[in-house]
Structure 1
Amino acid sequence: MTEIHPNQRVAVLADAQNLYHTAQSLYSRNIDYSSLLEKSVQGRELTRAIAYVIRAESPDEERFFDALVDIGFEAKIKDIKTFGDGSKKADWDLGIALDAVTLANHVDTVVLCSGDGDFARLCSHLRHEGVRIEVAAFKNSTADELVEAADAFIDMSEREDTFLL
């Protein structure tokens, strides 16, 4: 495991859908992405920040995507898919995992902003590769296996005023 040091190279990968739905269901509030990025980096060297978002044709979403870029995130946008039966699907799990594995050789730490337990195996793999894994999410909606697989867990619900608008 890589210890924290000032010149540590950090990548921040934010699962915007996971964060949005959790913040809405628990607090009826939105995420403060500027604070999330600042607290995730913690004075270290930011190598890359990516926010994974879904285009759902909602009002103001383009403004949100632009705001993410202004904050310092690269916005990766996926269109929501509607199937013949009317069901909809869109998620970034595979894209986040591929980016994390690709970035592993270029960073010391990956900060994964998601509570999705599907990422526990990814965390274990990255730790095996010598990458420090930090998870930032709301404890009430974060899978235990994800918390256990990380080197550090930032419970965003302990600092609502920092992480929520």
Structure 2
Amino acid sequence: MPPLQPAQRVAVLADSQNLYHSAQSVYSQNIDYAALLDKGVQDRELTRAIAYVIRAQSEDEDRFFDALRDIGFETKIKAIKTFGDGSKKADWDVGMSLDAVSLADHIDTIVLCTGDGDFSRLCRHLRHEGVRVEVMAFEESAATELVDAADSFVDLSERTETFLL
């Protein structure tokens, strides 16, 4: 896999639901998305930054979406689905994976900001295609198979003063 170089083209894909729930369950705090993006890019050439978010009709979510855009993220918004039995579902796993595969020919490195083990197969596929894969997540809630499948792992828990608000 290509080593870290300033000329690398980077895409940062942030699984906002996973990050939010991890930060809340472990620290009862929110993510600093500006710091997350800065660390993900690391002085390389940013090609795309996408935050995958869920519209849950909660107060302040529009301000959050606007803040993400102000930081430099493109936002992809999906409404939460409620089923007849009252259960709810909302995730961007397929959408993030399709975007990552679509971007692979245009980037050197992809930074997946998630701890979701469902992305381990995506990591292996991207690496097979010659794309460097970096994962940023909280170690306490990051799936071992995801960490093992990536070229590098940034544990957000090691610098909570940087990555949490």
In the superposition, the TM-score normalised over structure 2's length comes to 0.99
Alignment of 1:125 with 2:146, yes or no, is no
Shift of 1:62: 0.5
For residue 138 of structure 2, what is the aligned residue in structure 1?
A: 138
Structure 2, unaligned stretches of length 5 or more? none
SS of aligned partner of 1:65? helix
Shift of 1:10: 0.2
Instruction: Please tell me the residue identity of whatever aligns with 2:35.
Output: S
Structure 2 CA distance for aligned equivalents of residues 135 and 54 of structure 1: 21
Instruction: Please tell me the residue identity of whatever aligns with 1:146.
Output: L
Alignment of 1:34 with 2:34, yes or no, is yes
Q: CA offsets, 1:12-37, max 9 Å, x none?
A: 00000000000000000000000000
1:63-74 equivalences under 5 Å are 63-74=63-74
For residue 151 of structure 1, what is the aligned residue in structure 2?
A: 151
Shift of 1:119: 0.3
Instruction: Please tell me the residue identity of whatever aligns with 1:12.
Output: V
Structure 1 CA distance for aligned equivalents of residues 128 and 60 of structure 2: 41
Q: CA offsets, 1:29-57, max 9 Å, x none?
A: 00000000001100000000000000000
For residue 45 of structure 1, what is the aligned residue in structure 2?
A: 45
Shift of 1:70: 0.2
Alignment of 1:95 with 2:102, yes or no, is no
SS of aligned partner of 2:136? strand
SS of aligned partner of 1:57? coil
Instruction: Please tell me the residue identity of whatever aligns with 1:78.
Output: K
Alignment of 1:114 with 2:110, yes or no, is no
Structure 2 CA distance for aligned equivalents of residues 53 and 64 of structure 1: 10
Aligned length, in residue pairs:
165
Structure 1, unaligned stretches of length 5 or more? none
Structure 1 CA distance for aligned equivalents of residues 33 and 110 of structure 2: 17
Instruction: Please tell me the residue identity of whatever aligns with 1:86.
Output: G
For residue 6 of structure 2, what is the aligned residue in structure 1?
A: 6
